A and B are shown apart, each in its own frame.
Chain A
């Protein structure tokens, strides 16, 4: 039985359909991320799971039983918010104790649990401080601790680390991931940052305009995105796209862009293709070679080289298209240098231009 089951969940705000028919099952102990741009419906979905928003249509079940008529406090879910929502006049200790006291617990029971959670979360030395004296990362850790204090069945995280600076972010990601490993909670994260979702989640649900485009493991979402939207959203360097068409000749399939032909993997030979196709290839699956080297089959010209510290990104111009190629830091080429580009055939992705959907190999 699933810990959380969403069945055709819809949310309408007046005329606006914020969430249109979301269905998915989340297993106990799973870490799921809802990933998408602002306005895609991910926060609305999370708030309906929490009970902070009413569902317009559909059903939400916890362990097989519908919860849509239950108040948030009766659902045994807990939430950590982007802005921590800590009571500024109370110490960290008091902030942690609050949910227990509200539930009628007293004295030693409260103290014991607060100290237990503080130790698990490594925030014991912060207990006497007030929220205004905490760094962003510390405040977030306290917010998480408070969410865990009543031992929820499900932990909901609403963009908990988006606004933290780089090094705090890395730290908190590690922290949240370790929490999941050590405590085994069912966790649902909402974020617009693909790196957060790839790093933390077992499975990612990529959302766009109120719908889920794909739910899959991080590996699957990266290697086999279901459509152009997912493909363009995932990856630290954006995927390259080129419009063209597919032609078949002599038992082989070729992607054609103007007078450029790129041989496609054999898996595409038996497939049928629409008129207009988009080729997708990640910067990590291309290489730049000197023009005379004999390596690489595509002639191009360097547009610009950016040094990012751990790698260089070379933008090459191929007729009217510009592609980005990830190269080692030792590679430097000036603009207008003629080069040749090689492509890892096995990583070529094709999409139907009009529907956006991925075309699979057969």
Chain B
């Protein structure tokens, strides 16, 4: 439906978006995810027609969008700064797009109340935007953009200013509303859980570049590169720098200046071996929720490390250990505490290790059942 081909946007000397290409199909909920300043909002602005790309093209249903003004594109957009009409009541703000499309009065009333109910803003309908909290204003803006029938909904961090509890509620309602409308949505966020919960597909952006374009489970379980791996997950993936060696015909990863050696997985094939041996830097990646600790060395807990930090997350503890100069994180139940400086053994086996060659992922372990 929407396609970007080699889109680049330059502001002065700053390349905000670089050679960006992706497609968004009808009824897909695509999340554009990345840190602040990555270029996400710029991409959305170009799709909306508010800015034109410096190079590259945008297409809608294979028709070029160049020169088509925003109002003719029939894309509905929510801005982070709401842009509500201050002189109209909230009811009127929600009704506005429907009135503009000459929807009958009774239907307007029904649709406005339905939307307001879903977004929990019924009680403020007769007030003006100036008398609302930031979170309420944000929901009016979101409601106004969703109430009309548009080809595509462009939502730029539409629930970022709500408190955590409300954000999680709104997320579920939002997904429902979009499914009901059979909507095509492009949604920008920097919250990875939001991206995971809402997306059919995630487009990860960093410094204007496309980092990965994949369904959420793949972005989490098979991150394409170190950036994606370190940006998704609570906590982010831990990395250990290693060197590759072949012992008895089998590939092994070892930590320099130590005796620590971890055999590669059985399905680490010759192609992967080649990529790894040609790389300048090889890193092993592991997620804290698959890493455990023990005070005693056993078959599972094989690698010695020192406890560096213990952090409470409420439902679990996050234990950071130091393995030579590498920092690795593991989880433990809240009752299990460790002392900083204590020696422990970490579970580091090939079945939980991702392999990165010069920041690019070359091997992912099987997903835990």
Contact = CB atoms under 8 A, between A and B. Distances in A.
Contact of A37 (B163, B190, B309): B163
A222 B232 CA distance: 25
Contacts of A37: 163
B308 A178 contact: yes
Interface stretch (B91-99, B101-109, B142-150, B314-322): B314-322
Contacts of A219: 312, 334
B246 interface: no
Given A238-B168, A307-B217, 10 more contacts: A165-B35, A165-B231, A174-B327, A236-B234, A306-B172, A306-B196, A308-B196, A310-B233, A310-B287, A313-B197
B165 interface: yes
Interface residues of B, number: 43
Interface of A: 37, 163, 165-167, 170, 173-174, 177-178, 181, 194-195, 198-200, 218-219, 222, 232, 234-238, 282, 284, 303-304, 306-310, 313, 315, 324, 326, 329-330
A310 B35 contact: no
A238 B314 contact: no
Among B164, B231, B234, B320, chain A packs the most CB atoms within 10 A around the CB of: B164
A306 B197 contact: yes
B132 interface: no
B90 to A, nearest CB: 22
B136 to A, nearest CB: 14
B121 to A, nearest CB: 19
Interface in B109-168: 163-165, 168
A197 B318 CA distance: 14
26 contacts: A163-B36, A165-B35, A166-B236, A170-B235, A170-B236, A174-B309, A178-B309, A198-B312, A198-B313, A198-B314, A199-B312, A232-B165, A236-B314, A238-B165, A304-B175, A304-B176, A306-B196, A307-B196, A307-B197, A308-B196, A309-B193, A309-B196, A309-B220, A309-B232, A309-B233, A324-B168
Contacts of B164: 194, 238
A282 B175 CA distance: 23
B311 interface: yes
Nearest to B341: A181
B192 interface: yes
A310 B219 CA distance: 12
B313 A199 contact: yes
B236 A222 contact: no
A16 to B, nearest CB: 16
B216 interface: yes
Given A166-B236, A310-B289, A235 B196 contact: no
A329 B175 CA distance: 20
The 7 A-B pairs at the shortest CB distance, nearest first, are namely A309-B220, A165-B35, A199-B311, A306-B197, A222-B314, A218-B312, A238-B165
Interface string B228-250: 00111111100000000000000
B43 to A, nearest CB: 17
A307 B311 CA distance: 25
Contacts of B216: 307, 309
A177 B309 contact: yes
Contact of A310 (B175, B230, B234): B234
Contacts of A304: 172, 175-176
Contacts of A173: 311
B50 interface: no
Contacts of B334: 219, 222
B197 A181 contact: no
Interface string B336-369: 0000100000000000000000000000000111
A71 to B, nearest CB: 35
Nearest to B337: A219
Contacts of B35: 165-166
B233 A181 contact: no
Contacts of A166: 35, 190, 192, 231, 236
Contacts of B221: 309
Nearest to B192: A166
Interface string B49-86: 00000000000000000000000000000000000000
A303 B175 CA distance: 12
A219 B314 CA distance: 7
Contacts of A330: 368-369
B257 to A, nearest CB: 20
Contacts of B175: 304
A173 B308 CA distance: 13
B54 to A, nearest CB: 24
A258 B327 CA distance: 51
